[in-house]
Structure 1
Amino acid sequence: MPDKTSVIRPTDEQARLLARQLLQSARYVSLAVLDPETGWPSVSRVLVALDPSGVPFILVSTLAAHTRSLLADPRCSFMAGEPGKGDPLAHARITVMALAEKVAQDAPERPQLRDIFLGHHPKSALYIDFPDFSFMRIIPQRASLNGGFGRAFNLDAADLCAPVA
C-alpha cells in the first residue's frame, strides 16, 4: 500500500497571520472542557478578549459548569472563526489546545484586563464586578488551523500569540 500524503502543510508566515487574525477578531469562542464528575467533554460559548501579549482570556462565574471544570482540570480547547455565506467548511477556523489559568482578584494586571474586556464587551459591565466573577487566561499550547479546503496547518504557542496593538 502506498504511503498516504499528509494533508498538513508546513507552517508559514501566512498561516501564522491567519491564525492571529482569527484570534484577534473573535468576540466569543466555543470552549471545550472536561467534566470532572463524568470525564465527558462539554462545550460552552464564552466571551473572549486578548491580553496585551495576545493571550486569550475569559470572564467566568463560579456558578458556571465550565468554570468548575477548568478549576478541576485546566486542559481545554476552543474554536474560533466565523462561517460566512455558503459552505461553512470553506471558511477559516482554528482549534486551540490550551491550559486555563485563573487570574487572582488582587493581581496587578486585573484592572487592565477588566478595561480590555469591557472595551470588547461593554454589556459585561452589568456583572463584571460581581464577587463570583474572575478572569481566566486560556494559554495556547498548540493549534490546528483550517484555512479553508486544502489549507491545514499545525501551529505551536509561539505561532499564535503576538502583542496586541
Structure 2
Amino acid sequence: MAETDPIRPTDDEARALARALLDGATSGALGVLADGAPMVTRIAVARDEAGGPLTLVSALSQHTTALRAQPACSLMVGEPGDKGDPLTHPRLTLQCRADFVPRPGADHDRLRALYLRQQPKAKLYIDFGDFALVRLRMTAGFLNGGFGRASRLAPEDLGLA
C-alpha cells in the first residue's frame, strides 16, 4: 500500500497565511539545544526590513547561551484562539539560524529602531549591556494551517530569500 503524503503543495493561500502569522506575531516559542537537550522558551518577536524575525535576548538567559553555542534554532508563531481545539488554529514553525547583530554599528542602530517601533516596552532594557539583537534567518518552514492544511515553506515563500 502506497503512503499518501499529508503535506499539501505550497500555494498562494498557504504563503499568505504563513506571512500573516509571522507579521502578526509579537511573541513566539523559540526552540534551542541547551547542552545537547531541547529547550523551548517564549520570546518577543519583531520583524526586520525584509519581514524576517528579529528578537532581543539577554546574556543572562539560558537560551542566549544555547544560541551562541549552537545557532540552529526554531521559532513557532501563531496563538490558539479563545474557543475550540487549540490544534485546529494555524501556526507557523520556522527553522532558523540565529545571527547576533554586532554593536555598535549602523546595522544595530537601524534594527534597534525597528525593534522599538514594534516592541516599545523594550526601551526600558534594550540598551543594557547584556542585551543583544538577534536576527532569526529562516532556512525552512512548516505551516500547519489547521486540520488537513499543512505545507512546507522555503524562505522564498515568505520573501526572505
Which bracket does the TM-score occupy, shorter chain normalised? over 0.9
1:6 corresponds to: 5
Structure 2 unmatched runs, 5+: none
Q: Distance in 1 between matches of 2:24 and 2:109?
A: 22
1:55 corresponds to: 52
Give the % identical residues.
48
Q: Distance in 2 between matches of 1:151 and 1:96?
A: 16
Structure 1 unmatched runs, 5+: none
Q: How far did residue 26 of structure 1 move?
A: 0.3
TM-score norm. by structure 1 comes to 0.93
Let me know the Cα RMSD of the aligned residues. 1.3
Q: How far did residue 149 of structure 1 move?
A: 0.4
1:70 corresponds to: 67
1:27 corresponds to: 26
Q: How far did residue 161 of structure 1 move?
A: 3.4
Q: Distance in 2 between matches of 1:65 and 1:107?
A: 26
SS in 2 for 1:7: coil
Runs of 4+ residues over 4 Å off in structure 1:
none
**Are 1:140 and 1:160, in contact at CA under 8 Å, matched by a contact in 2?**
no
Q: Distance in 2 between matches of 1:34 and 1:77?
A: 10
Q: How far did residue 79 of structure 1 move?
A: 0.6
TM-score norm. by structure 2 comes to 0.95
Q: How far did residue 54 of structure 1 move?
A: 1.3
Q: What does residue range 110-149 of structure 1 map to in structure 2 within 5 Å?
A: 110-149=108-147
CA offsets 1:25-52 (integer angstroms, 9 cap, x no match): 00000000001x3x00001100010101
Q: Distance in 1 between matches of 2:156 and 2:97?
A: 15
SS in 1 for 2:106: coil
**Are 1:92 and 1:147, in contact at CA under 8 Å, matched by a contact in 2?**
yes
